[in-house]
Chains A and B, each alone.
Chain A
Amino acid sequence: MSDATLTRAPARPATLLVRGAHVVDPVERIDALHDVLVRDGEIAAIGAAGDLRPDGAEVVDGGGRHLLPAFVDPHVHLRTPGQEHKEDIETGTRAAAAGGFCAVLAMPNTTPVVDTAPVLGALLDQAARDARVPVGFLGCITRGMGGQDLTEMAELADVGAVGFTDDGKPVADAGVMRRALQYQRLAGRVLALHEEDPTLSANGAMHEGAVSARLGVAGIPSVSESVLVARDCQLAGYEGGRIHLQHLSCVASVEAVAAAKAAGVQVTCEASPHHLTLTDEDVAELDTRLKMNPPLRTAADRTALVDGLRDGTIDCVATDHAPHARDEKEVAFEQAPMGTTGLETAFAALHTELVVGGLLELGVLVDRMCAGGVPFGVAQPRIAVGQPANLTLVDLGRRWTVGENGYESRSENCCFAGRELQGRVLLTVAAGAVAYRERSFALTAA
């Protein structure tokens, strides 16, 4: 597949020397102390700690810190156009940079939805003015996300759509899904699928299980997801199409993907930080910040997701960053909109629960957080000489409380709010330019 083109506002190429940081890059098989010199936005040299001279470059003290390839999030909602009271391109990409992300891919369920080339063109123009980190936009699979008529996918791809999705809704009709897979041969670009049979999820507000039974809240059964996962894996296999399954949440979905991959189906998938760290027990207080779709499921589901992330069945982490205004979430649980923000907390939450928690190696987490763009033609960031600088400097020991200093995002509906996490992003370099510096993080000039 051809490379995706991402867009961001003009930014000054960085020239800086990160000195003595512990560099971890699983792709480049680096796991040691190094100096990394960035000159004019490109990684110019990697040397033993203390070996490189700044030669005019700004010096960043990496001592006691980790330097990682910056992350790529294949699933965010920037809410532009039409819902800018929740988020816009500027605030959303600022949140991304604060979370260590160097690129994000935005979903098209906006107002209007991104189902025609002119809407996409206007978004790209706006991103070229406002985006702090490079952004790619997906177009809709069906017109108006109505699930019936294909969009002009070939033209949308020509204008710059990095993929197609009706995210927020499934393509419920199997015949339409099949046509979309056929049309992919013409349009190219992966189909990213929100898997949910609406006749099974019905009016559910949380995972269907013991907790929903106790609370008397209508449930969303796991099978509402896994039956569509299985269906679309079979359709993709039959049509030779390529699909990316969004935000998997349950055991049966992971098993269906593993079976499809073993059978040679071109399928990739993602899991969200909240599904990898929280369960439906956390919803017991009916905090609307923990209401999302798919819902938080059982401990067994969470374990299957972590195992899948470790063994590669799940290719990448995606935040499904879904901002909602305070007044929209300050309602009864069943009335609240689905979604949690996630960009600013993704790495810290996963580091705390999975790496510190002993479930996942740091290198594997870094790989899965960097791999999200690959299904869409966005190269995985690497720390290697000659590569554009996509770097994030983190303090893995630093503990902080989510929300203590507010958020970069316009919205504050974060499911981790109030939790103490370990691991803090200090600096993000995206496509060669500094996109974020943590407030308390002092930089010392050479």
Chain B
Amino acid sequence: MRHLLSIADLEREDIERILDRAAAFEQIADREVKKVPALRGRTVLNLFYEASTRTRSSFELAAKRLSADVVNFAASGSSVEKGESLKDTVLTLGAHSPDAIVIRSPHAGAAALVAGWTSASVINAGDGKHEHPTQALLDVHTLRSKLGALDGRSIWIVGDIAHSRVARSNILAFREMGAHVTLVGPPTLMPRDIEALGCAVRYDLDDLREADVVYALRVQRERMDGKELPSLREYAARYQINGRRLHPRQVLMHPGPVNRGVELSGEVVDSPQAVITMQVRAGVVVRMAVLFELLAGTRTDSPARLREPQPA
């Protein structure tokens, strides 16, 4: 594997290999010295065009635990604000010979574009409303530790599907791992023809009991035009996962950050069913596994490397 751009590029065996390695990395997190020299001397560049706390710090931590060097490049306060294009930024930063570029962009397809402009391995850390593959991998990892195999499990993804890259990557990942996926949300936030991804669509939570896993999404007010929902009050009345709706045997997930009182009630965030902090913890080991997958060992198969200035 050279890049991680989309879950669609992964076979089930790829996902299992990466997550098995993530499980092996978990013991490192419990050590006093949480560091191994696997990627010593490698450089990981974090290129974030959108605000992100947990994903960026999670990648940074993952790279550092593998002893890689990390450069953080945030769009604000940089040449981007001076009008530099994505391509020029990537070419400029490429002069530092990064081994991996982790990119977050507000635009779908940005990670794939970057992959064409660099010899580094590119990891998509979220491209617009399209995909967020490492989130999907860490979610599968969390569920595998909690439930075992996902085959035949029913997973309901609830909320603002239209604006969610998490939903799109997770639909693909959960389906690849053998789960049945149901999407639930207001019709105004449900993309037309999303069923084509192989999932069921519903507009109410009446049969939520059928779900083994309830995956609530954040209501992304910052991405809305204000017209999709009559009110957050009516949204919560219809779609909030709360103590009345969540069954004790169900697993509750959320990609964070949570709007308490909107998509989740406070009591379920703090309930034993919630695995939200497990997801965050899984984020580091899964991203370690992804970096290891892409960077470990020598790589000679890259034609793009030829375009790069060669060290003397």
Contact = CB atoms under 8 A, between A and B. Distances in A.
Interface string A177-194: 001001111100000000
Contacts of B203: 185-186
Interface in B225-278: 226-231, 233-234, 237-238
Contacts of B228: 179
Interface string A131-168: 00000000000010000111111110000000000000
A183 B227 contact: no
Tell me which of A143, A148, A179 has the highest count of chain B C-beta atoms within 10 A of its own C-beta: A179
Q: Give chain B's interface secondary structure class.
A: loop
Contacts of A149: 226-227, 230
Contact of B230 (A153, A175, A184, A185): A153
Nearest to B239: A186
Q: Give chain A's interface secondary structure class.
A: helix
B128 interface: no
Given A185-B203, A186-B203, A186-B204, A152 B231 contact: yes
A155 B234 contact: yes
B10 to A, nearest CB: 33
Interface residues of A, number: 17
B188 interface: yes
Contact of A152 (B190, B204, B226, B234): B234
A186 B186 contact: yes
B192 to A, nearest CB: 9
Size band of the interface chain B makes with A: 10 to 19
A154 B227 contact: no
Given A182-B188, A185-B203, A154 B238 contact: yes
A179 B228 CA distance: 7
B109 interface: no
B208 to A, nearest CB: 15
A182 B187 CA distance: 5
Tell me which of A148, A151, A152, A176 has the highest count of chain B C-beta atoms within 10 A of its own C-beta: A152
A183 B188 contact: yes
B187 A185 contact: yes
A186 B190 CA distance: 12
B223 to A, nearest CB: 16
Interface in B195-221: 203-204
A27 B228 CA distance: 42
A325 to B, nearest CB: 34
B182 to A, nearest CB: 15
B188 A152 contact: no
A179 B188 contact: yes
A152 B235 CA distance: 9
A186 B203 CA distance: 6
Interface string A330-363: 0000000000000000000000000000000000
A148 B230 contact: no
Nearest to B229: A150
Contacts of B237: 154-155
B227 A179 contact: yes
A186 B187 contact: yes
A184 B233 CA distance: 18
A362 B231 CA distance: 48
Given A186-B187, A186-B204, A152 B227 contact: no
A152 B187 contact: no
Contacts of B230: 143, 149-154, 183
Interface string B164-206: 0000000000000000000000111010000000000001100
B206 to A, nearest CB: 12
Contacts of B231: 152
A154 B206 CA distance: 14
Contacts of B234: 152, 154-155
A206 to B, nearest CB: 35
A153 B229 CA distance: 10
A150 B233 CA distance: 13
Interface in B268-296: none
Contact of A183 (B187, B204, B226, B233): B187
Interface string B134-159: 00000000000000000000000000
Contacts of B229: 150
Interface in B95-112: none
A184 B188 CA distance: 9
Contacts of A154: 230, 234, 237-238
A149 B229 CA distance: 8
Tell me which of A143, A149, A153, A183 has the highest count of chain B C-beta atoms within 10 A of its own C-beta: A183
B161 to A, nearest CB: 13
B187 to A, nearest CB: 4
Tell me which of B186, B187, B190 has the highest count of chain A C-beta atoms within 10 A of its own C-beta: B187
Nearest to A238: B192
Nearest 4 CB-CB pairs, A to B? A182-B187, A185-B187, A152-B234, A150-B230
Interface of B: 186-188, 190, 203-204, 226-231, 233-234, 237-238
29 contacts: A143-B230, A148-B227, A149-B226, A149-B227, A150-B188, A150-B227, A150-B230, A151-B230, A152-B230, A152-B231, A153-B230, A154-B238, A155-B234, A155-B237, A175-B227, A179-B227, A182-B187, A182-B188, A182-B190, A183-B186, A183-B187, A183-B188, A183-B230, A185-B187, A185-B203, A186-B186, A186-B203, A186-B204, A186-B238
